[in-house]
Amino acid sequence: GESVGLHLPTLSVQEGDNSIINCAYSNSASDYFIWYKQESGKGPQFIIDIRSNMDKRQGQRVTVLLNKTVKHLSLQIAATQPGDSAVYFCAEILSGGYNKLIFGAGTRLAVHP
Amino acid sequence: EPEVTQTPSHQVTQMGQEVILRCVPISNHLYFYWYRQILGQKVEFLVSFYNNEISEKSEIFDDQFSVERPDGSNFTLKIRSTKLEDSAMYFCASSAGRRGDQPQHFGDGTRLSIL
């Protein structure tokens, strides 16, 4: 069925450390996986995406890893900063669809000085 | 940087009343979406809209919901007779295309409170 979920509801890290946020999905027929960041009182903000035929993609301070064998997606944030504190959602887009995003439950990242 | 704007930021309505949520998508985008987020829960897809018609809708988007692009800039979501369970954050999004690498950009939402 259509299901995207997250392992950890809350992640606390020290400023400067690397953060890893994980996501499990159950649908094999997904074209793209996307990470969004949602700050309090704001809408989801696009961070990075990865196509299903890739296993790694890097952006500025962020890396997304996709393991299709175990249906697992992760977001790595290097040198985490206080401004990274937010809720992070993974989302998937099924192939052949109209770009409908299917969101996971979200992980709250708390960065401590 | 262009952004999606939504009004009002907070709407309080009596149960049974009609409500219209408004959105101005990014100007050169062609695909428009509504999502909702009940407090503490994940974001849920409601509807996608392209070329002046609905391209996909979820089970949530029943006959009480409708969308419209009344002019070249606005995109609206109407709930005809609101219910208590319609209380949520409603997000509008837009994208340049429907490919996965043409990301959806979200507004900051309208908080809808049904009394």
Name the band, by pLDDT with cuts 50, 70 and 90, for residue A8. Answer: very low
Burial category of B95 from C-beta neighbours within 10 Å (exposed 0-12, middle 13-18, buried 19 and up): buried
In this predicted structure, the answer to whether residue A1 has a pLDDT above a threshold of 60 is no
Q: Specify the pLDDT at position B21.
A: 98
Q: Specify the pLDDT at position A96.
A: 73
Q: Specify the pLDDT at position A4.
A: 52
* pLDDT digits 0-9 by tens, B13-61: 999 999 999 999 999 999 999 999 998 788 999 999 999 999 999 999 9
* pLDDT digits 0-9 by tens, B54-87: 999 999 999 999 999 988 889 999 999 999 999 9
Contact status of A90 with chain B (Cβ, < 8 Å): no
**Mutation test of the interface with chain A: which of B23, B39, B45, choosing the one with the most A Cβ atoms within 10 A?**
B45
In this predicted structure, the answer to whether residue B8 has a pLDDT above a threshold of 90 is yes
**Mutation test of the interface with chain A: which of B37, B38, B42, choosing the one with the most A Cβ atoms within 10 A?**
B42
In this predicted structure, the answer to whether residue A6 has a pLDDT above a threshold of 50 is no
E-state strands within B1-57: 5-7, 10-13, 19-24, 31-37, 43-50, 53-57
* pLDDT digits 0-9 by tens, A54-88: 999 999 999 999 999 999 999 999 999 999 999 99
Beta-bridge mates of residue B44: B36
Average pLDDT, whole number, for chain A? Answer: 89
Q: In chain A, positions 51-80, which contact chain B (CB-CB < 8 Å)? A: 51
Nearest CA in chain B to A40: B108
Q: How confident is the model over A79-105, as a mean pLDDT?
A: 90
Q: Are B19 and B112 in contact (CB under 8 A)?
A: yes
- How many Cα neighbours within 13 Å face the side chain of B77? 31
As a whole number of angstroms, the distance between CA A84 and CA B114 comes to 33
Spell out which residues of chain A touch residue B98, defining contact as CB-CB under 8 Å. 98-99
Contacts for B63 with CB less than 8 Å, ≥ 6 apart: B80
